[in-house]
Structure 1
Amino acid sequence: MTRIGAVVVGAGPYGLSAAAHLRERGVETRLIGTPMQFWDEHMPVGMCLKSEPFASSLGAPLPGLAFPDYAPDAAAIGDPVPLEVFTAYGRWFAERAAPPAEVTRAERIEPDHTGYRVVLATGETVRTASVVVAVGVGPFAHIPGELMDLPAPLVSHSSDHRDLGAFRDRDVVVVGAGQSALETAVLLAEQGARPTLVARTSRLMWNTVPHEAGGRLPSAPLHGLGRGWRTWLWSERPATTRLLPYRTRRRIVATTLGPAGAWWLRDRFDERVRTLLGHRVTRAREDAGRAVVFTQGPDGPERVTADHVIAATGFVPDLDRIPALAPALRAGLARWNGSPRLDRTFQSSAPDLYFAGLAAAASFGPVMRFVHGTDFAASRLARAIASRTRGPRPTDHLTHV
């Protein structure tokens, strides 16, 4: 069986970017997954990205493939990027820069004497020198333990819903205080549901209008994570972030761009959304087919009854939630808690096994939680893989736009 240079598992922003950079460097690459599938199927209709248009570009190996190139009329600072425009951009990028995506999934990734075997859902086994795991955030959806006593029909993660209109005329508890929670609550209200937002914070935070934002210094730069000198470092120099002690990196990832809503959402968050701020969920149970959520608030305990509970509580990287990794391979990986320990090329402790996206945040900092990190990750890992495996450069196939 012929061995190829690389298999990229996942066809979201990080997978597409990695495959595009590998292809441009002449590495024979197979891209496994449906382009932008998670964004198409697990983000709610009506959603907008929180990132600015210039920071919503995938990592391109050539000019002319950035988001503003695709949608120049929607690329001004402060323009919210609609979900459907971003997913269409991702597919446009895939057609022009990446190898053809294979609409299947990787069932098993395991090492062999020549590199790795990747077994696909089609039954095919692919032998490859390198594997890039770019599975996105989907496998890492986090539902707090306090909600786990609820049966599946009564509780879900915010990423489980494409059409929030299914909750029309129903009572829904949304747990969280970040953009996902606030936007989910607003979209529920706009679809005719009765949402209650439960958040531990005593005050909701909202980002400022971009042209009004600024740090103490007038010249604080605007960058992929916002505005300011410190966040500029995390945004534009993730290689420097990796050199910091792990505890420092962990704190930076946890606190940079904490829970807050986009400025353009604030006016839509109104009295249609009931709020319980300063309330911590302590437990939840089913009662007569409905969910009962118990909280502890500033005035004591309280209970909320609803038809459904949506946990808009983010994503927590965990290698054990990537079932395609063979158990022995997964167990042997060096970790930062649940995340793989990565070297400066995004390579894990298993030679020629690379991780990109949220799984890399523990090593390279908070920018790996965002689309803006795709170019740094893709270019760096592609350079490393290409140094080991080279082939003809297929740049003549790329569409220059």
Structure 2
Amino acid sequence: MNQPVAVIGAGPYGLSTAAHLRGRGIPVRVFGKPMVSWRDHMPAGMLLKSTPAASNIDAPQRGHTLADYCDAAGTRRLVTDEDIIPVETFTAYGEWFQQRLVPGLERVRVVSADRRPGGGFELKLDSGEQFAARAVVVATGLSGLAHLPPELAGAAPDGPTPTGPLSHSSQHHDLSRFAGQELVVVGAGQSALETAALAAEAGARVRLVSRGRGRVAFGAPPWRQPRLRPESPFGRAWSLWALSHYPHPYRHLPARTRHYLVRRVLGPLGAWWLRDRFEGEVPVQEVAAIVRAEIGDGRPTLTVRTLGGGTRDLTADHVIAATGYRVDIAAMDFLGHELRAELAVSRGTPKLGAGYVSSVPGLYFTGLPAAASYGPVMRFVCGTEFASPRLAAHLAGSHG
């Protein structure tokens, strides 16, 4: 069949999938701006929590690891667990990967994708072009999936905005704009802790609010990892090793178990190297819950329930919700309404079978939307090593 496969998204998963499809000789068209989430929606100066071993974009041939990029760029090799990766370096690595393995990338947006009556899919681009594809791979990463808890919505009735009273952490690239301001960061994961530290270093007066069981904690440095357990990209533990290297049976677990593990395994935890920059610099307010968020005199106020059972108001110039991402098929509005209605989902996420195919033949999902079917490793770049070759093999007609 001469119709191409359409890959929507040009982050690590989209680029890796496209490289594997090209490696099998399958015609493919790839849409999106390369590494756009990493370049535009991560704060400047951010450092990756993942180690170099967990940050390779999988390719069908040798010579395309992060270390290979460092060699090509003439920069210091990042290879050990103690090497820390600046986001700018990782973004440049992804763009280098794209130029070498996905040179035909089309920097246009897919407006809609619908099923064709005769089979396959019809896609419309914002350039005005319409074309037919034999299959569609959704690899849109975090785009459109920023999660704002309902209790914070009162301070952002029209949605979070970087210039309004409340924003999401994904909306900031330059945190220096908060210099001299009172800033509250909500969350307890790496994004919250690093956003708070970077804003404080940029001159903001920052307070971090952690909710419920979201206690602030930091991982152990590499030299304190237990040596008698197997090594994985995320640390030394039997469970992490199994979830990293053998996600095959994950989709056969009960739905409740799968969603729980995605949420709890590798959950909120600061990187070991962030501890010294955070502790003593950013005060932490642990609360039982945030009751509501309101705006008064242009400033946001959070009403919180304290650990002792009382309530307290916290006011600031701005609130950043570092509250993560949540997969929701309904938010992927480029997929036609009938297509979304036809998809089998579980708690908003697509149910995927072997080879990452959804319940709609020819429609595939990879990256974060696949985590509920293939496990927490799909939340990280190193998941491309498992996902991309299997998805490409399935599309090629092999179920290996």
What's the TM-score bracket when you normalise by the shorter of the two chains?
over 0.9
For the pair 1:221 / 2:230, whether they are aligned, the reply is: yes
* Number of the residue aligned with 2:74: none
Quick one: which of 313, 318, 325 aligns to 1:315?
325
Compute the displacement of 1:3 (Å).
Answer: 4.9
Quote the Cα distance in structure 1 between the aligned partners of 2:239 and 2:247.
Answer: 12
Cα distance in structure 1, aligned partners of 2:103 and 2:122:
20
Q: Deviations over 1:85-139 (max 9, x none)?
A: 0000001111111242111110000010130011111010121101000000121
Kept after mapping to 2: 8 A contact 1:131/1:353: yes
Counterpart position of 1:211: 223
**Mapped contact 1:177–1:259 kept (Cα < 8 A):** yes
Unmatched segments (≥5 aa) in structure 1: 389-401
Superposition pairs of residues 13-92 of structure 1, within 5 angstroms? 13-71=12-70, 73-92=77-96
* Aligned residue number for residue 270 of structure 1: 279
Could you tell me how far apart the structure 1 residues matched to 2:83 and 2:103 are? 31
| Match in the other structure for 1:397 | none
How far has the Cα of 1:262 moved from its partner?
0.1
CA distance change for structure 1 residues 202 and 368 in 2, over 3 Å: closer, same or farther? closer
Q: How far apart are residue 204 of structure 1 and its match?
A: 1.6
Which residue, 285, 290, 293 being the options, matches 2:294?
285
Q: Which residue of 1 aligns with 2:345?
A: 335
> Is 1:162 equivalent to 2:162 in the alignment?
no
The partner residue of 1:100 within 104, 128, 135 is: 104
Match of 1:391 in 2: none
Identity of matched residues, %: 46
Contact 1:5 1:28 in 2 (8 A): yes
Task: Give the residue type in structure 2 aligned to 1:78.
Answer: E
TM-score normalized by the length of structure 1? 0.93
Q: How many residues align?
A: 384
Deviations 1:165-211 (A, max 9, x none): 11111111100000000000000100000111000247421100012
2:386 corresponds to which of 344, 362, 376? 376
CA contact (8 A) 2:166 2:321 kept: yes
Aligned-pair CA distance for 1:250? 1.4
Unpaired segments of 5 or more residues in structure 2? 72-76
Match for residue 399 of structure 1?
none
TM-score by length of 2: 0.93
Deviations 1:354-401, CA, capped at 9 Å, x for gaps: 00011000100100111010121111111111228xxxxxxxxxxxxx
Q: After superposition, what is the alpha-carbon deviation per residue over 1:228-287, rounded to whole angstroms, capped at 9, x for unaligned?
A: 111111111111222222222112111101211000000000333121013421101000
**Per the alignment, in what secondary structure is the counterpart of residue 4 of structure 1?**
coil
Contact 2:214 2:268 in 1 (8 A): no
8 Å contact 2:287–2:304 — kept in the other structure?
no
The separation in 1 between residues aligned to 2:36 and 2:307, in whole angstroms, is 42
Verify the 8 A CA contact 2:187 2:208 in the aligned structure 1. yes
**Where do 4+ consecutive residues of structure 1 move more than 3 Å?**
none
**Residue matched to 1:353:** 363
Q: 1:252 aligns to what? A: 261
